[in-house]
């Protein structure tokens, strides 16, 4: 979010607010239309049954919260592109170490559903790594800045949901990241 507030002469100015509003409005509309939240929750419920965790009432919530927390962000995308194009997995290794700390902390407070966030991360980052050649030209500095800003706001929404459950349907906001990249490329 460091690029959102800038010092312009002697005043504090904002940048990227229009992109943020457009990205969240369009991305949330798309997400609600395809109902990503229900898809991720269904995956969580399936994992809950497969792992004999029916007694854990927070399993699905923990899975969704941890999955969104570790999947959203520029490091996942940039690291996967670097790995796919250059074979440089150092950013992914750093992200993995950070994710491990985050997931362990979340598991201690929310439950073992958090551990299974590794599955969506593997699919998400693996897919980006495989298609890195096609994504590389689109990931300009402006696109990464937009992606980072929207990703930071999505992580904020996940954090609010940890304090006040069901405040945001964060998974349905995920298409906002794609809209932010498209917005940066167009404007």
Q: Residues of the chain with pLDDT > 70: what percent? A: 97
Q: What is the mean pLDDT of the chain?
A: 89
Give the model's pLDDT for residue 59: 95
The residues near 5 (Cβ < 8 Å, ≥ 6 apart) are 12, 13, 14, 15
Strand partners, 13: 6
- Above 90 in pLDDT, residue 183? yes
Phi, psi (degrees; rounded to nearest 5) at 5: -105, 125
**What is the Cβ-side half-sphere exposure of residue 31, based on CA atoms within 13 angstroms?**
22
pLDDT at position 166 = 83
**Burial class of residue 80, CB neighbours in 10 A (0-12, 13-18, 19+):** buried
Q: What is the per-residue pLDDT across 57-114, written as a single tens digit (0 to 9) for each? A: 999 999 999 999 898 877 888 888 889 988 999 999 999 999 999 999 999 999 999 9
Determine if the pTM surpasses 0.85: no
Count how many domains the chain has: 1
Q: Which two tokens stand for residue 82?
A: 């670097």
Give the pLDDT confidence score for residue 106 in this predicted structure.
94
Average pLDDT of 159-185? 91
Are 128 and 76 in contact, with CB atoms under 8 Å apart?
yes
pLDDT value, residue 1: 54
Structural domain boundaries, residue 124: 5-186
């Amino acid at each position: 979010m460091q690029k959102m507030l800038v010092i312009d002469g002697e005043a504090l100015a904002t940048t990227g607010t229009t992109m943020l509003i457009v990205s969240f409005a369009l991305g949330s509309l798309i997400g609600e239309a395809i109902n990503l939240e229900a898809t991720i929750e269904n995956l969580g419920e399936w994992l809950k049954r497969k792992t004999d965790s029916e007694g854990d009432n927070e399993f699905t919530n923990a899975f969704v919260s941890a999955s969104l927390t570790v999947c959203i962000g520029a490091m996942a995308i940039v690291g996967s592109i670097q790995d796919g194009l250059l074979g440089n997995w150092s950013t992914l290794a750093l992200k993995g170490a950070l994710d491990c700390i985050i997931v362990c902390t979340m598991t201690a407070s929310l439950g073992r559903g958090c551990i299974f966030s590794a599955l969506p991360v593997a699919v998400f980052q693996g897919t980006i790594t495989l298609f890195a050649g096609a994504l590389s030209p689109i990931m300009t500095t402006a696109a990464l800045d937009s992606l980072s800003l929207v990703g930071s706001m999505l992580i904020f929404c996940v954090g609010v949901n940890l304090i006040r459950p069901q405040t945001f349907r964060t998974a349905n906001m995920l298409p906002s990241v794609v809209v932010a990249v498209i917005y940066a490329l167009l404007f």
